[in-house]
Amino acid sequence: MEQAQMSMLQQALDVVEKLSPEDQETLVELIWRRLVERRRAEIAQNAADTLQAVREGQARYGAVENLISGLDILKSVQYVVNQKGKPAAVQIDLEVWESLLDWLEDLDDRALVQVVLPRLRMGPEKAGALLWDEVKAEWEVPGSEIAR
Amino acid sequence: MTRRTLLIEPEVHRARKYLPGNVRQRVKWAIESLAEEPRIPDSRSLDVTALDVPPHVELRRLQINRWRIVYAVNDNEHWVWVLAIRRRPPYSYEDLEELIGKLE
């Protein structure tokens, strides 16, 4: 940290030291809330970009670190604060949650396709795929008459 | 419209017994419908960019409530191949006992 910044920080601490314990607690809470608001604004901007990318199919598939980063910037993240005013949990819009599930399913399905690629290249006959017409009767649920 | 040959992975066929009864019925009907129309509105093409998928094969996903069917379509050879049936997260673990039973 620069010398000038250290000096300003020390001055600020000196001022804070002169406040009553109650005022110091209030000040801490105010600063904390402002930091949270600033962070939320950053999250909203990043999330708007991410959601747009997901909707346009431009989202990149990557490592877990990248996924966590993507989760972290979702647009509608709202903090649930505890009695001390500190964030204790988050909630997101249902629409965003569903988009997120779509995204996770895309990742899951992509991984699945990678696994079955050798079989797809072999073709169904060589790969030993079953003919539906020969096994579909085994899919019947006894006593189940559900309207379509 | 050309009726396609329906195929299913042996693993998916074996897994049918772990599907809830009503889901199994719906999946069965859905698979049946793919023979006539493999690109029904509730389905969509999967992004397989940079994956070496064989020519003329399209990977698709059909959503059925909290479940989905992943399948391949080959218009040249007139087949639809069911590759997987997956449940949409989060899981409720209502079938936990069944899952544990499978492990024993």
Reported as a single tens digit per residue, the pLDDT across A97-144 is: 777 788 788 888 988 999 999 999 999 999 999 999 999 999 988 776
Residue B100 Cα, gap to closest chain A Cα (Å): 22
Residue A132 Cα, gap to closest chain B Cα (Å): 5
C-alpha dihedral (A67, A73, A79, A82), degrees to nearest 10: 50
Nearest by CB to residue A113, choosing from B9, B59, B89, is: B59
> A120–B13: do the CB atoms touch at under 8 Å?
no
- Both structure tokens of A63: 């490592």
Asked if the model's pLDDT at residue B99 lies above 50, the reply is: no
Burial of A85 (0-12, 13-18, 19+ CB in 10 A): middle
Judge whether B82 is closer than 8 Å to chain A, CB to CB: yes
Q: Is the pTM of this model over 0.90?
A: no
Residue of A nearest to B27 (CA): A139
What share of chain A in percent tops pLDDT 90?
A: 19
Has the ipTM of the complex gone over 0.90? Answer: no
> How high is the pLDDT of residue B1?
66
> How high is the pLDDT of residue A27?
85
> How high is the pLDDT of residue B30?
95
> How high is the pLDDT of residue B68?
93
Asked if the model's pLDDT at residue B98 lies above 70, the reply is: no
Could you give the CA distance from residue B58 to residue A133 in angstroms, rounded to a whole number?
22
Which stretches does DSSP call E strand in B46-98?
A: 57-64, 67-74, 79-87
- Both structure tokens of B69: 């069917």
Residues in chain A with CB shorter than 8 Å from the CB of B21 are: 141, 144
> How high is the pLDDT of residue B2?
80
Nearest by CB to residue B53, choosing from A117, A136, A140, is: A117
**Rounded mean pLDDT of A65-81?**
60
Secondary structure of chain A: what % helix, strand, coil (to 5)? 70, 5, 25
Asked if the model's pLDDT at residue A66 lies above 80, the reply is: no
